[in-house]
A and B are shown apart, each in its own frame.
Chain A
Amino acid sequence: MTDMKNRIESRLQSLQPQFLEVLNESHRHNVPVGSESHFKVTIVSAVFDDKPLVARHRLINATLTNEIIHSIHALALHTFTPAEWQKRHDATRTSPPCLGGSAAE
């Protein structure tokens, strides 16, 4: 039951991500076992350089197409430029930053 995860990943490859993680978080919700309803995407790409968050999210939504967007219930998006990602990575060496995990709770 990883069909939707694979579809999301393969679509997002077109944004040439330096890092891409697609998590199926459906098990944390009130849906049947094996559901593909709630996803969280963490993506790092140079295409986000100089783009505000709204523009980044719109780009992802357009890349995923309505077909995918409309067939899932929730999509959490965490978008970073390579520079922003590096900054976070560096920060983890001293003290780990919040990576937004509680945003979906």
Chain B
Amino acid sequence: MDIADSIEQQVSTHPVVLYMKGTPQQPQCGFSANAVQILSACGVEDFFAVNVLADPEIRQGIKDYSSWPTIPQLYVNGEFVGGSDIMAEMFQNGELKKLLEK
């Protein structure tokens, strides 16, 4: 299974997937920490987190898969939502909570 297939499987089998640096308990980047906090503020605690620092192939693979150059990246129901700035904006205007309730 190549890396794109692994990612495809991750985002299709888990409703909420966050590709991040570090873990939700110990984020290794301020933007990733912010993404975890936003999910938590939306009441989502049991999302599937992928630590890209633990796997260089995933780290590059997710950038290619999404055509998105930065980490973190949020997927909801298999769809790419965006990075932490987009999450923050969508949190402020209420869109993220609506999306996560589906």
Q: Is B41 an interface residue (CB 8 A)?
A: no
A57 at the interface (CB under 8 A from B): yes
Query: Do B69 and A100 touch (CB < 8 A)?
Result: no
Interface residues contributed by chain A, number (CB under 8 Å) = 19
B48 proximity list for chain A (CB < 8 A): none
Interface set of A (CB-CB < 8 Å, partner B): 53-54, 57-58, 61, 66, 69-70, 74-78, 98, 100, 102-105
Q: A61-B69, A105-B30 are in contact. Are A78 and B92 (CB under 8 A)?
A: no
Per-residue A-contact encoding for B54-94, CB less than 8 Å = 1, 0 else: 00000000000001111000000000111111101110100
Min CB gap A54→B, angstroms: 5
CB pair A103 B31 closer than 8 Å:
yes
Q: How far is the CB of B24 from chain A (nearest CB, A)?
A: 17
Could you tell me which B residues sit within 8 Å of A by CB distance?
29-31, 34, 67-70, 80-86, 88-90, 92
Tell whether A54 pairs with B82 under 8 Å between CB atoms, given A61-B69, A69-B69, A105-B34. yes
Known: A103-B34, A105-B34. A76 touches B85 (CB 8 A): yes
CA distance A53 to B83 in the complex (A): 10
Closest to A66 in B: B69
Are A54 and B80 within 8 A (Cβ)? Answer: yes
Contacts of A100 in B (CB 8 A): 85, 88-89
Given contacts A54-B81, A75-B70, 11 further A-B contacts (CB under 8 A): A53-B82, A53-B85, A53-B90, A54-B80, A57-B86, A74-B29, A76-B85, A100-B89, A103-B31, A104-B31, A104-B34
In the assembly, what is the distance between CA of A93 and CA of B88, in Å? 23
> Bound complex: CA of A5 vs CA of B6, how far in Å?
37
Q: Which 9 pairs of residues, A with B, have the shortest CB-CB distance?
A: A53-B86, A69-B69, A103-B88, A54-B82, A77-B85, A105-B30, A103-B34, A76-B85, A61-B69
